[in-house]
Structure 1
């Protein structure tokens, strides 16, 4: 499928993929292999930039996340159907060709068109306000239990969590260690039933206010509380809150019901956390607009899972552009 070039307008790509993490790169790779012309746009600001090693990605266990992104981008760029640009996207809106994208990077303006758009921009993390948390994040302290708990197994760990899912998440961390202290920082609520569940698992709950983490160049050594007590801990996990920064996506938000006005777009569905609601293959409530990866419910996921979702969404985009294929079984019969 070649990029269309209207005589009275700019080049129109088949698909624009916004975001070059594992989900976006996987979508872009599978789309170019479907002979779709793809514009891959990325601001190169990955959420996991502080993480030294990624785990659980088959054949790439232990690789740097930045190296994984670099390898994926190089693979996509190797296809003539791919156009890869670095830019911050500040506007995506419907137009006559399908979609218009606008952005800028270091004085260079992006003004592009595409028949379909895949949003793979991920999320922004917000951590508890501890002065040195960022210094230890990615080495001693992590947020993804499935990714990093193996390397902390059996150690005296801290779990810092200010959200109401503290009990379930603490029990998950406790599966890798029998020496876990949960710090609610006086914010997270733990009811009697939750306390009982944690006590049964041997998890200690400390509801005092946390002042900071302690450590040196070798890593984290403890948690310092506001009353001066320092509890020795060699590392731990933190529960961030995540934010979907999607103000640039100018499609319209609203209730789940469709707008039946002729020619009108249905409202763009988002859940209570602001994530883009999609079907099982990444279609949003707006035709021609897809989303994949952390920006879709339930939120952050392992890299290999995100890559798999990117491949599934790419197949859906291609089938939709072909037209008339509504199910994978239709495509292979």
Structure 2
């Protein structure tokens, strides 16, 4: 016989753990299944989380797991969810255990999807060597630490101008590198120029630096542009294959469509955090979304308005 839970939370980041904590406190029987593949694994410190400013993000997750697991009616396990299918009066969740933990096959009346997203960095040599220390993808999270530094901004998407204008509030020495991609129209480049932001369209050979950190950008023609820090515009994707049988609605970016309380198009299925529009945000924003979903789910189960 499958174990039965009130709620299964898929994803053990700030959104999922926040939802689980509040649902456990509402006396729901909760299981958190976390694949242990956090997007911010390379980041040394996280910022902007009240009372936890500067904490390593992996420590933040660990503390969250411990707090949730401290409730007798809550359980947290490392497991990668393989499928979520309909079952009588709810859903069946099948997961493969990771890090030596057992496989799970459980039944639940409600699901919270908080798996976050995966990111693909621009294919630049040595990018990974500096990502999470000198180079980052969250401006609000890490802009303060890079204030007044000679910054690089790498991207090959059509929203570079918006990003660059935001980054420029932390430094007046910013160069946008497009690596030869034709993604920045002339009018947007002129707008950036008026704001004191340079654009370098030449292809990049590699990022320079070593133990001392990131030191510059080597262009394909051999020119080296000195820089000491910067930001990256990754490509983001939501991995939702495990939900294929449910038909949960997604938007044009592949993110889960939700109402103002995190309800999806499928009754009993909720979503929170980076997996929902507008996509990646700060950890504290994701945690708040998880708490909001928990409130809605608990009140839906009780038959009262959120």
Write the distance in 2 (CA, Å) between the matches of 1:252 and 1:225.
Answer: 47
Write the distance in 1 (CA, Å) between the matches of 2:124 and 2:189.
Answer: 25
Write the distance in 2 (CA, Å) between the matches of 1:112 and 1:218.
Answer: 49
Structure 2 residue 196 is matched with structure 1 residue 202: yes
Write the distance in 2 (CA, Å) between the matches of 1:90 and 1:96.
Answer: 19
Q: Report 1 or 2 for greater relative contact order, CA contacts < 8 Å, sequence distance ≥ 6.
A: 2
Is contact 2:33-2:78 (8 Å) kept? Answer: yes
Aligned to 1:212: 206
Structure 2: 5+ residue runs without aligned partners? none
What SS does the corresponding residue of 1:48 show, helix, strand or coil?
A: coil
Q: Normalising by structure 2, what TM-score?
A: 0.97
Structure 2 residue 265 is matched with structure 1 residue 285: yes
How far 1:322 moved relative to its partner? 1.1
How far 1:88 moved relative to its partner? 0.8
Return the match for 1:63 from 55, 59, 73: 55
Structure 2 residue 275 is matched with structure 1 residue 295: yes
Aligned to 1:81: 73
Write the distance in 2 (CA, Å) between the matches of 1:99 and 1:188.
Answer: 46
| Alignment map for 1:120-269 (pairs within 5 Å) | 120-253=114-247, 268-269=248-249
Write the distance in 2 (CA, Å) between the matches of 1:24 and 1:176.
Answer: 31
Structure 2 residue 265 is matched with structure 1 residue 273: no
Aligned to 2:34: 42
How far 1:105 moved relative to its partner? 2.0
Write the distance in 1 (CA, Å) between the matches of 2:246 and 2:96.
Answer: 23
Over the aligned positions, Cα root-mean-square deviation in angstroms equals 1.1
Flag the 1:54–1:188 CA change in 2: closer, same or farther, 3 A. farther
Is contact 1:163-1:188 (8 Å) kept? Answer: no
Larger radius of gyration: 1
Write the distance in 2 (CA, Å) between the matches of 1:198 and 1:302.
Answer: 26
- Aligned residue pairs, count: 304
Is contact 1:12-1:97 (8 Å) kept? Answer: no
